């Protein structure tokens, strides 16, 4: 088995790895005598974990939303209303993913700047009165008839592709702040300004982490990286301090059970904790959640993990955390493998997607467990939300394309 795994990294010479201009996490790729047949195709274990998360998410969206027709806010809808829409989003996402998988990484690199400009256009378009759809006071959606599309989800993928392309182009000047880091910082600032106008601070946090992570993995030195991190932390702190409702949300997070916050800003968090507490070790069983019966708002979207915790208990939550950890680590490995094959752009794209999935899942889980202040971020691949599911699947299709081209190169072909 060990020999078989080593065979996956066939064509790389140790000297070639040492000469790469990017970090690959200390991994060594040594040449072996033969390439096994297992390198053909793409990572099937990753595929099955993705399918498992999508299937579990589909079941939980139905479970968490089945009682919503009783809520007058939703009008007269069928018990399967959200289930049908989620299945439709999955169908559209699968078709889009298959199409995305057909696009070579060289084409993604060639059109990186065009994709970024398209995402900026949609972020501006959603702010235009009469075009952008307002939900709960936020203008974040474009109505496409059959489904609503959230431009911030496209922006996440666009930033991954653009930042990877940017680092490849700036590799020779990566040690210079004004020539390497500042232009990327300005691009992220423009995206951030448009997102904060919606407002959508959660998406801005994810995008900032993606861009910063790709800069670091691309070779920006540690001093510049920590400077960027400090600037971002101070910027987010200023946003919270000068925004009354954001500041109130922080105070509610610190004490959600107080008389002031229990029925206000701390309501979602307190009921999320009640749901997870009811689940104990093994949960109350699938469909047995009480909190989803109009006690826990957004149970099928941002707080899906709370319903999972109530119905599957600590075991279910730990299993889910383990699956996302494995998913993130596996995608990072695919990225490192691409970099070791001297495919820096493809490797940085894969690692960017890993940071996107991992960080957003971390934030969502932290919010549901009361470890982080409440943010409007969904659980990737699982929560209800058509555009989020669509872009998650497209991003993963790009990762599978990276893995496919890696394996193609390892058997002597051309990507």
Q: Tell me: the pLDDT tens digits for 74-130?
A: 777 888 999 999 999 999 999 999 999 999 999 999 999 999 999 999 999 999 888
- Residue 159, classed as helix, strand or coil, is helix
Residues 6+ apart with CB under 8 A from 20: 339, 340, 342, 344
pTM (2 d.p.): 0.86
Return the bridge partners of 80, or none.
none
pLDDT single digits (tens) 127-181: 988 888 877 777 888 888 778 899 999 999 999 999 999 999 887 766 676 677 7
Q: Most confidently modeled of 65-69, 91-95, 293-297?
A: 91-95
Within 218-303, residue ranges assigned H as helices are: 222-241, 244-254, 267-279
pLDDT at 11: 37
pLDDT over 70 for what percent of the chain? 87
What's the distance, CA 162 to chain centroid? 16
- Which of 8-12, 54-58, 174-178, 373-377 shows the lowest mean pLDDT across its residues? 8-12
């Amino acid at each position: 088995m060990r020999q078989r795994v080593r065979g996956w990294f066939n064509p790389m010479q140790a000297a070639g790895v040492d000469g790469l201009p990017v970090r690959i996490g200390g991994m060594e790729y040594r040449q072996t005598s033969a390439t096994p047949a297992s390198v053909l195709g793409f990572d099937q274990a990753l595929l099955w974990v993705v399918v498992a998360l999508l299937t579990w998410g589909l079941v939980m969206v139905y479970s968490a939303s089945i009682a919503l027709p009783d809520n007058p806010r939703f009008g007269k809808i069928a018990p399967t209303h959200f289930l049908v829409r989620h299945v439709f989003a999955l169908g559209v996402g699968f078709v889009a993913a298959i199409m995305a998988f057909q696009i070579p990484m060289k084409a993604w690199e060639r059109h990186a700047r065009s994709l970024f400009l398209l995402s900026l256009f949609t972020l501006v378009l959603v702010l235009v009165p009469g075009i952008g759809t307002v939900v709960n006071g936020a203008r974040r959606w474009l109505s496409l008839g059959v489904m609503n599309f959230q431009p911030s989800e496209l922006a996440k993928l666009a930033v991954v592709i653009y930042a990877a392309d940017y680092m490849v182009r700036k590799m020779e000047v990566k040690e210079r702040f004004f020539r390497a880091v500042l232009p990327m910082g300005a691009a992220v600032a423009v995206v951030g300004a448009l997102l904060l106008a919606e407002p959508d601070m959660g998406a801005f946090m994810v995008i900032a982490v993606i861009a910063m992570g790709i800069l670091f993995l691309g070779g920006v030195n540690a001093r510049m990286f920590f400077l960027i991190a400090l600037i971002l932390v101070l910027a987010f702190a200023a946003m919270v301090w000068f925004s009354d409702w954001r500041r109130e949300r922080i105070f509610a997070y610190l004490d959600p059970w107080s008389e002031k916050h229990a029925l206000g800003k701390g309501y979602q968090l307190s009921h999320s904790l009640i749901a997870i507490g009811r689940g104990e070790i093994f949960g109350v069983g699938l469909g047995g959640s009480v909190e989803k019966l109009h006690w826990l708002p957004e149970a099928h979207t941002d707080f899906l993990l709370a319903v999972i915790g109530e119905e599957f208990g600590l075991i279910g939550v730990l299993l889910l955390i383990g699956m996302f950890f494995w998913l993130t680590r596996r995608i990072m490995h695919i990225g490192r493998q691409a970099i070791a094959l001297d495919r820096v752009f493809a490797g940085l794209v894969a690692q960017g997607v890993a940071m996107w999935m991992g960080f957003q899942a971390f934030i969502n889980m932290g919010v549901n467990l009361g470890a982080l202040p409440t943010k409007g971020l969904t659980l990737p691949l699982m929560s209800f939300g058509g555009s989020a599911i669509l872009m998650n699947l497209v991003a993963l299709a790009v990762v599978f394309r990276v893995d496919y081209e890696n394996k193609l190169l390892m058997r002597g072909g051309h990507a």
